[in-house]
């Protein structure tokens, strides 16, 4: 992922921090420090509810007066934020370690503003491995929530200094709540939450993987839209809106990545490319190129000089040329010279990845220096549709 800093390795897995993570610390410190007294009551309520459920623990109370002095609220905010990210990291580590036990290689773990991402080498684990891998994370969060809650009681009972005990109970109780929320949130059966993977694994036993992914991703997008609307109209809450936005993007990316990996797997560019390519010589006047675009409905042509591809002229290149200059100029004056080409045996997924990454619509296919075809984004999208039948 772009914009990530390497911070080291654990169990041989590179761990990275995304730059957005650095924004998260002050943001969380502010959110948490803003109303310590109210938060303290929520934590008390949570701990006593947990005590009631477990039936063995004494009641607990937090005196917020110590936590409200000076920078203390922001200090506990920073500690909770760091603790939360440690817990998110352990959650991701649980996914990764289980994946590795199934022989799936892990690229890295990246911590982002709203959680973590484990980057898996094989983008698609087998459905029977996906279920335990997906559940490992939320169950780890539940375990961490339980542990934090128990430790809050231990801190309350064992530490004599009331301000210190209060701060520790606050931090541990807060982490208890956050981990239980992480557990519950990730069980939502929609991408990109872990529950989406559980749902996909279940659906994939009954239908093709690409359709299973699409359903899980569509539910994720619908959920994100509802959450966004709720965040704007019902309780105006910027955090909710940001989370909804990230869920939508995540669901979209997941479904796109899986779709093209599954549907284009084992296809090479030579299977899909158009073999009859309309080319233009570098000396073609611009008005002729525009006429050719009208006539063929193609918006780009490879430029061929004595049989060798020397560039590409696109509608964008024409647009960039001021209208009064167009009559006087030729293709060689405006064409794009740094050209992405692929050999015919290149994988179609590679072609699609290059197009997405570089924002280009077509790639000429060359053997040595000879142009033998062209593959367009539209062609690839049509192949995906056909393969989805
Ligand atoms: Zn997870």
Question: Around Cβ 183, how many Cβ atoms within 10 Å?
Answer: 21
Q: What is the dihedral of CA 59, 69, 21, 171, to 10 degrees?
A: -20
In the reported structure, the alpha carbon of residue 209 is separated from the centroid of ligand 1 by a whole-number distance in angstroms of: 20
DSSP state of 119: E
In the reported structure, the alpha carbon of residue 161 is separated from the centroid of ligand 1 by a whole-number distance in angstroms of: 37
Q: What is the dihedral of CA 267, 268, 272, 274, to 10 degrees?
A: 180
In the reported structure, the alpha carbon of residue 307 is separated from the centroid of ligand 1 by a whole-number distance in angstroms of: 53
In the reported structure, the alpha carbon of residue 138 is separated from the centroid of ligand 1 by a whole-number distance in angstroms of: 6
Are the CB atoms for 121 and 107 separated by under 8 Å? Answer: yes
pLDDT digits (tens, 9 = 90+) for 243-277: 788 788 878 877 777 777 777 878 898 888 888 88
In the reported structure, the alpha carbon of residue 352 is separated from the centroid of ligand 1 by a whole-number distance in angstroms of: 28
293 pLDDT band, cuts 50/70/90, is: very high
Is the pLDDT confidence value at 123 over 60? no
Is the pLDDT confidence value at 57 over 70? no
In the reported structure, the alpha carbon of residue 185 is separated from the centroid of ligand 1 by a whole-number distance in angstroms of: 10
Beta-sheet pairing, 13-18 with 106-112 = parallel
Measured CA to CA, the distance from residue 328 to residue 157 in angstroms comes to 86
In the reported structure, the alpha carbon of residue 259 is separated from the centroid of ligand 1 by a whole-number distance in angstroms of: 21
In the reported structure, the alpha carbon of residue 135 is separated from the centroid of ligand 1 by a whole-number distance in angstroms of: 8
For residues 222-228, average pLDDT? 88
Measured CA to CA, the distance from residue 244 to residue 187 in angstroms comes to 16
In the reported structure, the alpha carbon of residue 11 is separated from the centroid of ligand 1 by a whole-number distance in angstroms of: 18
143 pLDDT band, cuts 50/70/90, is: very high
pLDDT digits (tens, 9 = 90+) for 166-204: 888 888 988 998 899 889 888 888 777 888 888 888 888
Residue 1: predicted pLDDT: 46
Measured CA to CA, the distance from residue 177 to residue 231 in angstroms comes to 21
Three-state SS at 328: coil
DSSP state of 313: E
In the reported structure, the alpha carbon of residue 164 is separated from the centroid of ligand 1 by a whole-number distance in angstroms of: 33
Residue 313: predicted pLDDT: 92
In the reported structure, the alpha carbon of residue 194 is separated from the centroid of ligand 1 by a whole-number distance in angstroms of: 5
Residue 267: predicted pLDDT: 87
List strand residue ranges (DSSP E) for 38-184, in order.
Answer: 106-112, 115-120
Three-state SS at 85: helix
Q: Please name every residue paired with 110 in a beta bridge, in sequence order, or none if there are none.
A: 16, 117
- Please tell me which residue, 152 or 239, carries the higher pLDDT value: 152
Is the pLDDT confidence value at 114 over 70? no
Each residue of 267-283: b (16+ CB within 10 Å) or e? bbbbebbeeebebbebe
Question: Around Cβ 151, how many Cβ atoms within 10 Å?
Answer: 18
Structure tokens at 212: 């299973």
What is 269-387's CATH superfamily?
Answer: CBS-domain (3.10.580.10)
In the reported structure, the alpha carbon of residue 153 is separated from the centroid of ligand 1 by a whole-number distance in angstroms of: 27
């Amino acid at each position: 992922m772009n914009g990530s800093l390497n911070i080291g390795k654990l169990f041989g897995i590179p761990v990275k921090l995304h730059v957005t993570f650095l924004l998260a610390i002050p943001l969380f410190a502010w959110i948490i420090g803003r109303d310590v007294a109210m938060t303290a009551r929520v934590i008390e309520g949570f701990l006593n509810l947990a005590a009631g459920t477990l039936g063995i623990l004494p009641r607990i109370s937090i005196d917020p007066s110590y936590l409200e002095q000076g920078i203390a609220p922001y200090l506990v905010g920073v500690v909770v934020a760091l603790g939360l990210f440690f817990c998110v990291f352990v959650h991701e580590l649980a996914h990764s370690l289980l994946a590795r036990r199934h022989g799936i290689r892990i690229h890295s773990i990246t911590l982002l503003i709203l959680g973590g991402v484990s980057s898996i080498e094989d983008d698609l684990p087998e459905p029977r491995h996906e279920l335990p891998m997906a559940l490992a994370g939320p169950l780890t969060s539940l375990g961490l929530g339980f542990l934090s809650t128990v430790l809050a009681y231990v801190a309350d009972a064992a530490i004599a200094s009331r301000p210190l005990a209060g701060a520790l109970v606050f931090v541990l109780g807060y982490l208890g709540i956050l981990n239980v929320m992480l557990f519950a949130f990730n069980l939502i059966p929609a991408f990109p939450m872990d529950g989406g993977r559980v749902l996909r694994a279940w659906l994939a036993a009954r239908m093709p993987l690409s359709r299973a992914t699409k359903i899980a991703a569509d539910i994720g997008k619908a959920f994100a839209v509802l959450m966004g609307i709720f965040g704007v109209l019902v309780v105006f809450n910027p955090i909710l809106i940001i989370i909804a936005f990230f869920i939508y993007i995540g669901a979209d990316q997941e479904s796109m990545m899986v779709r093209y990996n599954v549907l284009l797997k084992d296809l090479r560019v030579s299977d899909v490319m158009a073999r009859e390519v309309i080319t233009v010589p570098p000396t073609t006047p611009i008005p002729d190129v525009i006429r050719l675009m009208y006539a063929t409905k193609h918006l780009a042509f490879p430029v061929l000089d004595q049989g060798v591809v020397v560039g590409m002229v696109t509608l964008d290149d024409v647009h960039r040329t001021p209208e009064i200059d167009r009559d006087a100029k030729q293709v060689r004056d405006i064409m794009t010279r740094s050209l992405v080409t692929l050999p015919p045996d290149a994988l179609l997924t590679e072609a699609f990845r290059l197009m997405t990454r570089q924002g280009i619509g077509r790639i000429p296919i060359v053997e040595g220096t000879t142009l033998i075809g062209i593959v367009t984004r539209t062609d690839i999208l049509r192949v995906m549709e056909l393969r989805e039948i």
